[in-house]
Amino acid sequence: MLVLVANLGSTSFKYRLFDMTDERCLARGSVERIGDAESKCKATIGDWSDERTMSIPDHGVAVEACLAQLTDPEHGVIRDASEVAAIGFKAVHGGRLSGVFRIDDNVLEAMAEMNAAAPAHNPPYIAAMKAMQSRFDLPLVAAFETDFHQTIPKARKEYAIPRKFADEFHIRKWGFHGASHRYIATRSAEMLGRDDARVISCHLGGSSSLTAIHNGESVMTTMGMTPQTGLPQNNRVGDFDPFALPLIMERTGKTLDETLSLLASQGGLLGLSNRSGDIRDLREAAEAGDANCQLALDVFVEEIRRHLGGMMVALGGLDAIVFTAGIGENDAPIREAVCANLEEFGIVVDSAANQALQGEASFHDDVSRVQLWVIPTNEEIVVARQTVSVLQS
């Protein structure tokens, strides 16, 4: 069974094609600048890479362009689109729907109800799903990011707000990055050789979150009602006191929408540093003496450690910390700073192993009671597995 997994942005489409008989990735590719006269369409199939520039007006045409590469007479891996069993989407917020579903009008309506909570994610996904429905006669499946966090105890996912708001408007701590944390839950159990481990998954990248995992299930996470919350993101504010909003609006003359847009695009590490939201840029500038860039790095680490401590208490102890995603997998100084001075909690870093680490590997010292790992995430294979499950059910 072949499954195409789609990861969408407002002007982008990234995909992987899996053969689910053995979970091999047969091809991967992307389309950038959808809507422009000169969109970039890339594909990698085995040793062959292809890049084309063409006009891609919408996501439906983007899929057609990718299928053209996948069916290339000389290098393609399929003869025609009918060989693809389904397209699976790493969808973000379904509100009243949290799980994995065949896409129909009810799913699209549920996503539209959450447009205000996920304005950068839901509208482009809805538009793309509708475009693909009209062009392709094959199943479309939405795997919502919130699904993995449904096992979190109620006391850890409710806000202290009027009951009416929570019940009628679905306002609670939903959690996100579910596919990534689910993959870490599965893979860490394999690496530790046990299913009952207490693990903290640190998904650190342009968008970051921590999740506490016990018995393979999410029991606590940092993101709340929207992907804007939790840790400081590259350009999103993270946790923030909503009662500061009227003051900002009063002093700047901005509307609520304008203020929220500013906090969602100019906050986070970018806002703290007044320079960049990229950790690499921040470290280079900090080493050159930029105090604001150093502050951004320090705040990022301290927020990770604050949530890490709370999760250790919630788990009643800890067996492993796993770092994943762009920063987690590639930034040794961030990993070391997060784990620094925690020897009393059984967390001891092997600095040399941490610095030399590449790919999937551990970096804890022999005396460390808590194992420290880097495990590259694979969100797409999780969505592919969920898509197959829906088709078979």
Q: List the binding residues for ATP.
A: 14, 278-280, 326-330
**Are the CB atoms for 374 and 335 separated by under 8 Å?**
yes
Annotated binding-site residues for Mg(2+) read 7, 379
Round to whole Å and give the CA distance between 6 and 88.
Answer: 6
Tell me the CA distances in angstroms from 243 to 56, 67, 255, one per residue in order. 43, 49, 15
The Cα 127–Cα 62 span in angstroms is: 13
* The amino acid at 227: P
**How distant, in Å, are the alpha carbons of 17, 328, 334, 365 from that of 205?**
24, 7, 11, 25
Question: What is the C-alpha separation between 48 and 46, in angstroms, rounded?
Answer: 5
Crossing angle of the two packed helices 279-287 and 291-315, in degrees rounded to 10: 130
Q: Return the structure tokens found at 74.
A: 């000389």
Residue 257 exposed, middle or buried by CB count within 10 Å (0-12, 13-18, 19+): exposed
Sequence ranges of the binding site: 7, 14, 278-280, 326-330, 379
